Amino acid sequence: MNLLHLHLNLHLFVTMAFRSMSRVVARMPASRTVAVPRRCLNIHEYQSAALMSEKGVNVPFGLPASTVEEAVAAANTIGDEEIVIKSQILAGGRGLGTFTNGLQGGVHVIKTSEVEEYASKMLGGTLVTIQSGAEGKPVNQLLMAKKMNLINEMYFAILLDRESGGPLVIACSEGGTSIEVLAERSPEKIIKEPINIAVGMTDENASNIVDGLQCTTDKAKAMDQVKALYRLFIDADCTMVEVNPLAEDDQGVLMAADAKIGFDDNAAFRQQAIFEMKDESQEDPREVNAAKFDLNYIGLDGNIGCMVNGAGLAMATMDVVNLHGGKPANFLDVGGACTVETVTEAFKIITSDTNVKAIVVNIFGGIVRCDTVAEGIIGACKATNLSLPLVVRLEGTNVAKGRELLEGSGLAITTADSLDDAAMKAVAAIQ
């Protein structure tokens, strides 16, 4: 996955880290849905469609709406007897989703006269889909789109591929439903076309993709559309461009009838206009708050909070906690700046999860000294009035002084000599 441009090495590291985390999570007995790790910016369909249009990709005409009145006005502007009303959330499977108020489906083809009724039920509601998690996502905006007569629906995506070291196009002659379903039902129809990042998409690449899509329209025009999607992928520093469905209408026009795009967070300085589109209402509030303090946080489904410095150390910590019978409640990386402020915020975020019953701190003092870390932990414990069992394992520069500070603090802090020792002590504390 995450390899592109100057960020090749960083994204390879992050991808390996998150894949390792996924393996850890997969071994955990989950009583409820685990939060989905999210590294890169995603934007809504209507925003994606606007970006695609700028690059020459054909998209259906549509207008966003954040109120019922705006939805009605948009439908009247389109002026057709029927219209497509689409919930805007950052999760796939909207069409087959269910609102918590009982409304079935996040995408409907309705009469223009029904817009007020449907918009009232959808706006402000929570839509649960196969990709949203059991808690669902809030619907704060709708896309009012012109109904198209689509006669051939396909699947198209460009991802970052670890094995090929660059962009990978995944295409299927069937589309309109979840790629997970397509992969299970018709795996032989899915093609993969790696793109040489140094060369770009060639005519041969585009031809292979169009052949795999089994387009019935003009092949040269279809290749132009595929190239336009790749141009968006490169120019906008994307990590993913997914079009489902990529479809032909009754006039033979190939268009992106739906879109989901992700962007490289490391390219924010180059893509300021795009990153201003970020919708924090679609994210875990804890992740949003963590980012404000340059902390990396991902909520999981366990009861032992984990605070570390470094993604690799986070993987090891969660793995060992799981090995000794515990269930990690989070991934929280404080990086190299362990100050009283950052550690305090980290504790606040971890303890905001009521399922957390103990905390493991596993810090290697390299960039930051262990005695500085210890001072930060002591200050954070006092600032938050921490009452949960806290096990701290320090290693590295000034480790002896760091342990001395912790043990002489007068606080209920348990020190550990190793990661195994820390994990066992944390598990024992909640049994």
Give every strand in the sheet of 82-87, ordered side by side. 62-65, 142-146, 82-87, 107-111
Q: How many CA atoms lie within 13 A of 57 on its CB side?
A: 28
Whole-number Å distance between alpha carbons of 226 and 247: 12
181's CB contacts (< 8 A; 6+ apart) are none
DSSP string computed for 377-428: HHHHHHHHT--S-EEEEEEETTHHHHHHHHHTS-S-EEEESSHHHHHHHHHH
Q: Please state, in angstroms and rounded to a whole number, the distance separating the CA atoms of residues 4 and 162.
A: 10
Which of these is catalytic: 242, 248, 287, 375? 242
* Closest to 306 (Cα-Cα) out of 373, 380, 367, 357: 357
Cβ–Cβ < 8 Å for 41, 274: yes
Our answer to whether residue 155 is catalytic in this structure is yes
Q: Which residues pair with 98 in a beta bridge?
A: 104, 128
Cβ-based neighbour number of residue 281 at 10 Å = 14
Q: Strands 304-308, 330-333: parallel, antiparallel or unpaired by DSSP?
A: parallel
Going 38 to 312 to 341 to 428, the CA torsion angle's sign is positive
Place of tokens 């619907």: 139
Q: Report how far residue 182's alpha carbon sits from residue 177's, in angstroms, rounded to the nearest whole number.
A: 7
| Residues in the chain, total | 431
φ, ψ of residue 186 to 5 degrees: the values are -140, 65
CA distance linking residue 352 with residue 314, whole number of Å: 19
Distance of CA 420 to the CA centre of its chain: 31
Task: Indicate which residue of 46, 118, 153, 155 is catalytic.
Answer: 155
Measured between alpha carbons, how far is 370 from 300 in angstroms, rounded to an integer? Answer: 27
Residue ranges with strand state E in 195-283: 238-249, 254-256, 260-263
Active site residues: 155, 242
